[in-house]
Amino acid sequence: MPVNYSIHQILETHWGFKQFRPQQEEIIQSVLNGKDTLALLPTGGGKSICFQVPSLATDGLCLVISPLIALMQDQVQNLKSRGIKALMIHSAMSKREIDITLDNAAYGDYKFLYLSPERLETELFQARLKKMNINSVAIDEAHCISQWGYDFRPSYLNIAALKEELKDVPFIALTATATPEVVIDIQEKLLFKKPNIIQKSFLRSNLSYVVRRTENQVSSMLKVIDGARGSGIVYTTTRKRTKEIAHLLQQHGLKADFYHAGLSSEERQTKQHSWIHNKTQIIVATNAFGMGIDKADVRFVIHVDLPSSLEAYFQEAGRAGRDEKKSYAVLLLSPSMTENLKQKTEAEFPEIDFIKKCYLCLSNYYQIPIHGGLNQVFDFDIKDFSTRYKLNVASCYRALHFIEKEGMISLSENFFTPSKIYILLTKQDFYTFQVANKIYDHFLKTLLRTYGGLMESYVSIDENELAKNLKSTKSKVIEILMRLKKLEVIDYQPKGTLPKISYTKSRVEQLKIGKQHYRERKDIAFKQVEAVIYYAENQNICRSNKLLYYFGENATRTCGVCDVCLAKKKTEGNINTEELELGVIEKLKNGPKKVDELLQKSKHPKELAQLLNFLTETGKLKFDGLFYSLK
């Protein structure tokens, strides 16, 4: 890739930093050298800069594939605030809006186009792709492409087809969490020319991982907050509990607020801004909170529910202490939590016949004919849908989520879409209309003064702001906008709050779900749950090391600051067998050793001899009668 600008100059101009974080520059240079690259950086490692800087340093547009609308919105808004031109396409947009956005990506001087993987196969996108000057393809949350990943999405498999069209364009896959088998799977699924992983250690030495068993979560939570001080996040799994816990914290005199995906865009931004600027101390949230939010001084992250995977936990816990200062990741484990997680996971897999029934009902609900519906987008009111077909709401949602995982539909969470306007006329025709229709002249001039770029693309507007500038009322403004829409002067899209459903594949007569495939999906989910429960309940192995082992990284020593390590320190005369094991492995890395070589200078030779026998019996070491060696 021909480089036009200094990457350090770009970093300082747009982000105000004079140097890159660890591994960022290596990843950027790899992309600029045209190499397919897997960037494995923990939460807070600065993944976005790794694809944004190389795109800005070269001619052309970076195609960014991302699974979450909220995450795309945050990143596009962030880029625009830095003076960088960026676009996005998501399921809540009309066909006309998508068409204009793709035109701007093909012919405008934009640097980034964000879109979901479902959009890659659409005719609209395929037709414009050939006209785009793509300099790189970034795949965010790349673990979604692996069936072994904690959030597998079949639509991510569509990305590999881009390789044929963009043969010389480097692909950069980014994720904060991937086990060794997921790392291999990502590169295979994306057809990397050569394996190329650039990874930062998962070790967070400033972060104290704690599991606290408690029957009174509120009391324990208050103790953690009081001890940690500063800003923090409390994670729970339901929207209802975010409100309840925030209210409880407020009653104890704490500045707390709640956050979830069902809030409007304005509400989310207001709550985020207040928390980021420390006006709110604690945000109680579902896992919808945190992605794309750069706040370094988070002192604690508390979980009051077990997450569904260690990947999710590591990502959420890792939002604490990004400034490298002492911070805490605390899991408050109440007696019923492990059983609740198992039941919740079981519920995520409704009976196959019920899933098929929901698919049929959905097609009838929108009157989609067989072989029809492809890429059509609908507002979705799950309560109305469930009531009409006499389905349990929660079961219905889980069935639709399963169908989404099968790649048949795309289901967005509740999210707010602001009102938008696009002027349909050319400049000359627009001027002619103004002259011929004096009744609209003042309104249109005020509209143009208030909002720029209305002839280039859809622009978000606020009817209240427009009414204030016109010295009118919101209802009157909406009335005029609707009239102008009817006259085909503008396309006006009123704001919406309902989730969306789109058909990513044409409707089939009967949904096919193989029993073997169903079982495999369920087995993977329960293996992830077992890993979470093992992490929570095992009190003998350093918490930090458990996470490192899970992600395929060897630990050289215990962290010394998690609850397990601290408990061992407090127990006088306690022998830390994990420390003994790590010491043995470290010595054997340099080659086989005799028994006396391993036992010499040991403070606990008897216990070490027992440990060597145990490690040999369990297959971790080999012993040939004279030498011990790594297996």
pLDDT band (50, 70, 90) for residue 571: low
Question: Residue 67's closest CA among 6, 106, 114, 122?
Answer: 114
Q: Cα–chain-centroid distance for residue 479?
A: 39
Residues, the chain: 631
Q: What is the residue whose two structure tokens read 């509990």?
A: 241
Inter-CA distances, 620 with 109, 585, 588, 614, 629, Å: 57, 10, 12, 9, 9
Residue-wise pLDDT tens digits, 296-321: 899 999 999 999 999 999 999 999 99
* Local structure of residue 417 (DSSP, 8 states): B
Residues 173 and 330: their CA atoms lie apart, in Å, by 30
Res 269: pLDDT:
81
pLDDT tens, residue by residue, 234-264: 999 998 999 999 999 999 999 999 998 777 7
Work out whether the CA dihedral 302, 307, 312, 313 comes out positive or negative: positive
The predicted structure's pLDDT at residue 589: 86
- The string of DSSP codes covering 144-165 is GG-TTSTT--GGGGGGGGHHHH
Q: What is the mean pLDDT of residues 481-492?
A: 93
Q: How are beta strands 256-259 and 282-285 bridged, if at all?
A: parallel
For the cut 60, the answer to whether the pLDDT of residue 572 exceeds it is no
Q: Which is more confident, 263 or 226?
A: 226
pLDDT in the model for residue 605: 79
As a whole number, mean pLDDT of residues 435-442 equals 93
pLDDT band at 15 (very low <50, low <70, confident <90, very high): very high
Contacts of 397 (CB under 8 A, 6+ apart): 382
CA 435, CA 452: separation in Å to the nearest integer? 21
| pLDDT confidence bin for 566, thresholds 50/70/90 | confident
What the block records as the tokens of 520 is 């495999």
Q: Are 451 and 461 in contact (CB under 8 A)?
A: yes
Cα–Cα dist 91/136, whole Å: 23
pLDDT 10s digits, 459-477: 889 899 999 999 999 999 9
Helix (H, G, I), strand (E, B) or coil at 94: coil
pLDDT tens-place string over residues 119-163: 888 888 999 998 999 999 999 999 989 878 777 887 888 899 998
Q: 589 and 630 in contact (C-beta within 8 Å)?
A: yes
Listed residue (206, 200, 184, 207) closest to 41, CA to CA: 200
- The sheet with strand 500-503 has its strands ordered as 377-379, 500-503, 409-411
Indicate if the pLDDT at residue 63 is higher than 90. Answer: yes
- The answer, yes or no, to whether residue 182 has pLDDT greater than 70, is yes
pTM for this predicted structure: 0.77
Asked if residue 432 has pLDDT above 80, the reply is: yes
Cβ atoms 217, 305 nearer than 8 A: no
pLDDT of residue 421: 93
DSSP annotation string for 325-389: S-EEEEEEE-TTHHHHHHHHHHHTS--HHHHHHHHHHHHHHTTPPTT--BT-EEE--HHHHHHHT
Per-residue pLDDT, 574: 61
For range 341-352, the mean pLDDT: 93
From the list 332, 326, 392, the residue with the least C-alpha distance to 358 is 392
Closest CA to 306 of 336, 268, 264: 336
Q: Which residue has the higher pLDDT, 590 or 447?
A: 447
Mean pLDDT value of segment 331-335: 94
Is 90 exceeded by the pLDDT of residue 114? yes
pLDDT above 80 for 600: no
* Structural tokens at position 217: 């979560």
Q: Which amino acid is at 403?
A: I
pLDDT band at 401 (very low <50, low <70, confident <90, very high): confident
Q: For 206, phi and psi rounded to 5 degrees?
A: -85, -5
Q: Per-residue confidence at 554, pLDDT binned at 50, 70, 90?
A: confident
Q: How confident is the model at residue 504 (pLDDT cuts 50, 70, 90)?
A: confident
Rounded to the nearest 5 percent, the helix, strand and coil shares of the chain are 45, 15, 40
Question: How does the average pLDDT of the chain come out, rounded?
Answer: 89
pLDDT interval class at 381 (50, 70, 90): confident
pLDDT over 60 at 415, yes or no: no
Note the Cα 418 to chain centre separation in Å: 22
